[in-house]
Amino acid sequence: MSSREQQILDAMAARIDGAALGPLARPAGLTVSRSRMLELKPTQLPHVSVYPLDGTSDRKGSTAESTLTAKVAIWAKATPGGVVDAELDPIWLWVHQQLLADESLGGLVITLRQPQRVYGFAQHLGPFGDLDLHYLLTYRHSAADPSRP
């Protein structure tokens, strides 16, 4: 059994990679992974990767309440003559729709919010940009066994 943290990250990736949970259609060609250690080529875009940034825990008797900052990294390549932000935007909207369709992620988390977006680029790869979404999630788990609620 994996930790609640890994269960949450897996649920996030599955939602982003799954069928539409709202009115927006899945962006064409989108791939999703659970790894921060990917070496992506421009031909593998668009891509979304989900992984942990940091976390804290506060024990309250037999239960711990934890906070996890999860990073959803979006990578896209601009079309010729296009603006990479125009390619990132529909993917960001898709991710947000998928995660906020059920903010408890099937009962895994108490709260889920997206407090930060960070834009970047990798010019050496061509017209290639990224958008990092930082989601703050609060959840509870057994203090003695972090894999259990």
Structural domain boundaries in the chain? 4-142
Query: Is the confidence at residue 123, as pLDDT, over 70?
Result: no
Task: State residue 122's pLDDT score.
Answer: 66
Which residue in the block uniquely carries the two structure tokens 């593998």?
44
In terms of Cβ atoms closer than 10 Å to its own Cβ (0-12, 13-18, 19+), residue 108 is: buried
pLDDT tens per residue across span 51-98: 999 999 999 999 999 999 999 999 998 877 778 888 999 999 999 999
Q: For domain 4-142, which CATH number applies: 3.40.630.30, 3.30.300.30, 2.40.30.30, 3.30.70.1700?
A: 3.30.70.1700
Contacts of 100 (CB under 8 A, 6+ apart): 112
